C-alpha cells in the first residue's frame, strides 16, 4: 500500500512515516517539491492528513486534498487527523455523535472546517485527537516540562481542575495505522484520548515528579493571570523569533486547564483495537525525551 503522508515534517507525521517504514504492508510517500500535489494524491493508494500549524494551513490542506481526491475515478481512503477542539466548550462526557458548534477561536474554526470537509468525503476516517503528549510533542510535553522545571506551572488550584484528555503519541500513531488497515470504516469518526484521564493538576504533578521538578509549586490565580497578561505576549514573539527565552503560558493553555470535557474514546478501542499507554509509562518516556533534548 502506497501511503501518502501530508504533514510528514511535524511531530505526528514523522513517527507515522517511521512506523509505516517498519511495516511489511506499506510504503510511505511524501509530498515532493518537484511533483505536483494532485499527482501525489493520484499516486497514493491511501492518504494520511497530519497537517498542523496555522489555521490557514489546516483549512487549505483539507480543501486541496479532498478536492483532488474527489476528482479521481477511484478516490483513495483518507485518514484525517482532526481535533477535540471541534466540540467547542461542551461539558461532560462527549462521544462522536455530539454536536460540533461553530464557536471558538481561529484554530478551532479551522479544525472544524477541515473536519466538515472530511465528513463530505465518504472514504475518510476522522480522528479527533485529545492532548498529544510524549517524545517529540513540544506543545503539551516540551513546553509544559520547561514551565514545570522553572516553577511557572504546578498546582493551579481550581484553575487546574479541568479534564486533561491525554493521548500518548504512540497511541495516536497506532490509531492512524489501524485506520489505514480498515478502509471499510470510511465515513466513521473516532475520539482519541486515554480512558479515565487525569485533571490538569494531576498531569502537572505527575509530570513534574517524572521530571524531577519537585517540590511541585502552588501557582496562585493572580500569578498565573500576570503571566498571561504581561509575559505571554513578548515571550510569544521571542518564541516566533526563536530567541533563547522561556516559553509563554498562553491564554489557550489556561483555558484548557479549566475545560470540563471528557472524550469518550471507547469506539476506537473496539473498532480500531487501540490500547492506551499507562500514564506513568508515557510520562517517564516524555521526561526522558525532554532531558535528552535539553542536554543537546
The answer on pLDDT for 170 being more than 60 is: yes
Average pLDDT over residues 206-213: 97
Boundaries of domain holding 74? 2-295
Average pLDDT over residues 205-225: 95
What integer pLDDT is reported at residue 239 of this predicted model? 87
Q: In the structure, what pLDDT confidence band is assigned to residue 118 with cuts at 50, 70 and 90? A: very high
Percent of the chain with pLDDT over 90: 91
Average pLDDT over residues 272-280: 98
Average pLDDT over residues 235-253: 90
CATH number at residue 211: 3.40.50.720
- Give 32-81 pLDDT, tens digit per residue: 755 789 999 999 999 999 999 999 999 999 999 999 999 999 999 999 99
Percent of the chain with pLDDT over 70: 99
Average pLDDT over residues 226-249: 91
Average per-residue pLDDT in the chain? 95
What integer pLDDT is reported at residue 164 of this predicted model? 98
Q: Which of 64-68, 126-130, 192-196, 243-247 comes out lowest in average pLDDT?
A: 243-247
What integer pLDDT is reported at residue 36 of this predicted model? 87
- Give 9-21 pLDDT, tens digit per residue: 999 999 999 999 9
The answer on pLDDT for 102 being more than 80 is: no
The answer on pLDDT for 295 being more than 90 is: no
What integer pLDDT is reported at residue 104 of this predicted model? 80
Q: In the structure, what pLDDT confidence band is assigned to residue 96 with cuts at 50, 70 and 90? A: very high
Q: What SS3 string covers the chain? A: CEEEEECCCCCCHHHHHHHHHCCCCCEEEECCCCCCHHHHHHHCCEEEECCCCCHHHHHHHHHHHHHHHHCCCCCCCEEEEEEHHHHCCCCEEECCCCCCCCCCCHHHHHHHHHHHHHHCCCCEEEEEECEEECCCCHHHHHHHHHHHHCCCCCECHHHHCCECCEEEHHHHHHHHHHHHCCHHHCCCEEEECCCCCCEHHHHHHHHHHHHCCCCCCECCHHHHHHHHHHHHHHHHHHHHCCCCCCCCCCHHHHHHCCCCEEECCHHHHHHCCCCCCCHHHHHHHHHHHHHHHHHC
For the chain, what is the domain count? 1
Q: In the structure, what pLDDT confidence band is assigned to residue 269 with cuts at 50, 70 and 90? A: very high
Give pTM, 2 decimals.
0.95
Average pLDDT over residues 138-142: 95
What integer pLDDT is reported at residue 296 of this predicted model? 73
Amino acid at each position: 500500500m502506497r501511503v501518502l503522508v501530508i504533514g510528514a515534517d511535524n511531530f505526528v507525521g514523522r513517527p507515522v512515516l517511521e512506523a509505516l517504514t517498519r511495516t511489511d504492508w506499506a510504503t510511505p510517500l511524501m509530498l515532493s517539491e518537484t511533483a505536483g500535489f494532485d499527482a501525489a494524491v493520484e499516486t497514493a493508494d491511501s492518504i494520511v492528513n497530519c497537517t498542523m500549524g496555522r489555521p490557514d494551513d489546516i483549512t487549505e490542506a483539507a480543501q486541496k486534498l479532498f478536492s483532488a481526491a474527489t476528482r479521481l475515478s477511484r478516490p483513495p481512503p483518507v485518514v484525517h487527523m482532526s481535533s477535540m477542539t471541534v466540540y467547542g466548550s461542551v461539558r461532560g462526557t462527549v462521544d462522536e455523535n455530539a454536536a460540533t458548534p461553530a464557536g471558538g477561536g481561529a484554530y478551532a474554526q479551522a479544525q472544524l472546517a477541515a473536519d466538515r470537509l472530511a465528513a463530505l468525503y465518504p472514504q475518510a476516517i476522522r480522528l479527533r485527537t485529545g492532548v498529544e503528549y510524549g517524545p517529540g510533542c513540544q506543545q503539551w510535553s516540551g513546553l509544559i516540562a520547561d514551565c514545570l522545571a522553572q516553577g511557572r506551572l504546578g498546582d493551579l488550584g481550581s484553575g487546574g481542575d479541568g479534564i486533561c484528555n491525554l493521548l500518548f503519541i504512540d497511541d495516536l500513531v497506532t490509531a492512524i495505522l489501524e485506520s489505514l488497515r480498515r478502509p471499510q470504516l470510511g465515513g466513521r469518526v473516532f475520539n482519541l484520548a486515554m480512558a479515565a484521564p487525569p485533571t490538569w493538576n494531576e498531569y502537572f504533578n505527575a509530570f513534574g515528579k517524572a521530571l524531577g521538578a519537585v517540590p511541585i509549586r502552588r501557582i496562585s490565580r493572580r500569578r498565573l493571570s500576570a503571566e498571561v497578561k504581561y509575559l505571554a505576549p513578548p515571550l510569544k514573539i521571542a518564541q516566533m523569533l526563536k530567541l533563547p527565552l522561556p516559553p509563554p503560558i498562553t491564554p489557550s493553555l489556561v483555558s484548557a486547564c479549566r475545560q470540563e470535557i471528557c472524550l469518550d474514546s471507547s469506539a476506537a478501542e473496539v473498532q480500531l483495537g487501540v490500547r492506551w499507554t499507562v500514564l506513568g509509562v508515557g510520562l517517564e518516556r516524555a521526561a526522558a525525551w525532554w532531558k535528552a533534548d535539553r542536554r543537546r
